[in-house]
Amino acid sequence: MPFRCSKALPDPVRTLCEEPWKYAVEPFQVSPRTYYVGGQTWVGAYIIDTGAGLILLDTGIAESAYMMVDSIYKLGYRMSDIRMILISHAHLDHFGGAAIMHHLTGAPVYMSKEDDEFMQKVPEETELPHDMWHVQHIRVDKHYSDDNAITLGDISIRTLLTPGHTIGCTSFFWDEKNPVTGETYTVAMHGGVGANTMNDDYYSTSKYLTPDLRERFFNDAEKLKKIHVDIALPSHPNQIEIMDRAGSYTHESQPYLDDTVWADFIDERVRQVKALMK
């Protein structure tokens, strides 16, 4: 069944589905080894150059997949360079392009076991908004483990289950070395902080998410804030401002290097979730 976008969808989701080029953005570097390749400004995606191939972090929706492919080629890479596809959580705007990217690259798709099961049991809750249809459901090849890093080349990504937005949201942490200064930076992306699925109205209709996940989100937030992060990346660019410096990166200037952003970002998302509680 072909993918469609309901005429009732609000902007920017409807625009992203039907006219994704209106949100087009050129790829840009954010850290010594990581590049933004979402192709559009609404939902993020990144590639990490490990020296032994690329790791793709999230895939956007199917309609913007061609923009992601174009971004990767513009950076001088090929689809065959992608060796792993990591999905942060089971919402269509983050995994909708995964089947396409898997087909183009042959790379295995990773997701948490919790969200893999969530996606299979209640697919209608992964399609935010609910009247969007899948191209096809993805097959998850491997699950994350907080005890075992995902390693490719000289990059090791530490995963951390951080539920709330979905039952299996996964956050990512990895270290990169500046080739000019020799400094090492910890880069991180939270798996999902959307308050839209952590409010009482949503819980009243959800078959799977409960207020317990919201409490887990609050408790995890206090622990996450204590993790030192030098470069914090957003899964949606409106969560942490990165577009204002797109294209300005150099190893010497490090425009995204700020170890205060991570804790401030988490505090702000907690505040937003609490503001929606009855």
Q: Which pLDDT tens digit goes with each residue over 139-165?
A: 999 999 999 999 999 999 999 999 999
Q: Kindly report, residue by residue over 216-257, the tens digit of the pLDDT.
A: 999 999 999 999 999 999 999 999 999 999 999 999 999 999
Residues 6+ apart with CB under 8 A from 120: 137
234-254: b (≥16 Cβ within 10 Å) or e: bbbbebbebeeebeebeeeeb
pLDDT exceeds cutoff 70 at 133: no
What would the pLDDT profile of 30-44 be if each residue is shown by its tens digit? 999 999 999 999 999
Rg (CA), the chain: 18
pTM (two decimals):
0.94
Give the confidence band of 122 by pLDDT, cuts at 50, 70, 90: confident
Q: Indicate the pLDDT class of residue 1, thresholds 50, 70 and 90.
A: very low
Within 10 Å of residue 225's Cβ, how many Cβ atoms?
15
Asked whether the predicted pLDDT for residue 29 surpasses 70, the reply is yes
CA-CA distances (angstroms) from residue 63 to 54, 133, 241, 249? 22, 12, 24, 28
Rounded Cα distance between 47 and 72, Å, is 8
Closest CA relative to residue 62, chosen from 128, 17, 118, 9: 17
- pLDDT tens readout for residues 53-72: 999 999 998 889 999 999 99
What pLDDT was estimated at residue 136? 60
Once rounded to an integer, what is the mean pLDDT over residues 177-202?
A: 96
Token readout for 160 is 């951390």
Residue 132, token pair as written in the block: 């969007």
CB of 143 closer than 8 Å to CB of 150? no
**Which residues lie below 8 Å from residue 99, measured CB to CB, with a gap of 6+?**
62, 135, 136, 137, 138
pLDDT at 132: 54
Q: Parallel, antiparallel, or unpaired for β 82-86 and 231-233?
A: unpaired
Mean pLDDT of 75-84: 98
